[in-house]
Structure 1
Amino acid sequence: MKSFLSDQRGIAAVEMAIGMLLLVPLLLVLVEATKALTEYSQLQNASMEGARMLARQNGDTSGVNDYVQSLFQKADGTSTVDGEAPTVNITPRDSQNNVTVQVEHAFKPYFANASDAQGNPNPFNIMGSTPLTLSSKTVMALPAAN
């Protein structure tokens, strides 16, 4: 009986199994957060570029939406973000000579999808049923209107 209590074989496997219960979910969260930050960075860059284009055109909104949408296209024509294309809202010159460009996109996570490919609910969904919408808004001052 005494040799059974002092036997250390298998202890490392048990410790590793317990450690993996903590490390694997942490790794999944890090991957999701990295994807969300990368996508938000793209949205932020697109809204700033749209506002710069508006400033160069002195507040003329023609072509800005198409330009901002083109920033989410790779050279081969595929999208740089998952799912639908981001939406672009442009507010023309206001009373204080400011223009606003807002770019929004519904974030699609890798691991925490609300449903699988057949539409069945995912029992491991950690984000809930409400999709996460990433949004970036840039306000830029224009020269005084003529």
Structure 2
Amino acid sequence: MIVQGVRLKTRQRGVAMVEMAIALPLLLLLLLAIGEVGRLLLQYNSLMQASRDASRFVAGQAWNRTLGRLEITAALQDQARSLAVYGVPVAQEGGRPLVPGLSPDHVVVSVQGADHVQVSITYPFLPIFGNGLPDLGNGETPLAFSLVATSVMRAL
């Protein structure tokens, strides 16, 4: 009986290594996917905060007390875009955007109704590990998609 137990152990030799070789790529892919989702949520959170800050800034500056209505000038729009992208109302030379790849072209400042302002940021999210997944003969499925952060505030 002991001999059979030894034979069974010798037959099982290397099975753990084969199991690890099969499972390790899947576990690494899962770890990479979790990291990408975390990075996506971090960037979306940064975009939402930037959108809120810019809309709060515009809501405080856009109300014309003399005329009793909203007036969003081109200068105010530029300041709001700069605030949403760089975190400050006046763009500084060599400033880094809050989210990599974000530019003032991604920010839209508009009036909603009679007394609300809206700041919307549309950001193209690109995964770190590539632009697409290969298909079977059809090219590749793109992995890039747009993150949209919008906030609406009432003018003060």
Structure 2 length-normalised TM: 0.69
Return the index of the structure with the highest Cα Rg: 2
Where has structure 1 moved over 4 Å in runs of 4 or more? 2-5
In structure 1, what is the Cα distance between the partners aligned to 2:116 and 2:46?
23
Residue equivalent to 1:79: 97
In terms of fraction of residues, the more strand-rich structure is: 2
In 2 relative to 1, CA 128–52 (structure 1 residues): closer, same or farther, beyond 3 Å?
same
The answer for unaligned runs of 5 or more in structure 1 is: 115-121
Structure 2 distance, partners of 1:18, 1:4, is 25
> In structure 2, what is the Cα distance between the partners aligned to 1:21 and 1:45?
36
CA contact (8 A) 1:83 1:108 kept: no
Return the offset for 1:34. 1.2
Match of 2:66 in 1: none
Q: Which of residues 12, 23, 26 in structure 2 aligns to 1:22?
A: 26
Question: Which residue of 2 is the match for residue 94 of structure 1?
Answer: 113
Q: Does 2:67 match 1:51?
A: no
C-alpha change, 1:104 and 1:68, in structure 2 (3 Å) is same
Query: Helix, strand or coil for the counterpart of 1:92?
Result: strand
Q: Does the aligned pair in 2 maintain the 1:100–1:137 contact within 8 Å?
A: yes
Q: How many residues in Structure 1 have an aligned counterpart in Structure 2? A: 132
Q: Deviations over 1:83-128 (max 9, x none)?
A: 3526111112523x111110111011101323xxxxxxx648xx82
Stretches of structure 2 lacking an aligned partner (at least 5 in a row): 64-69
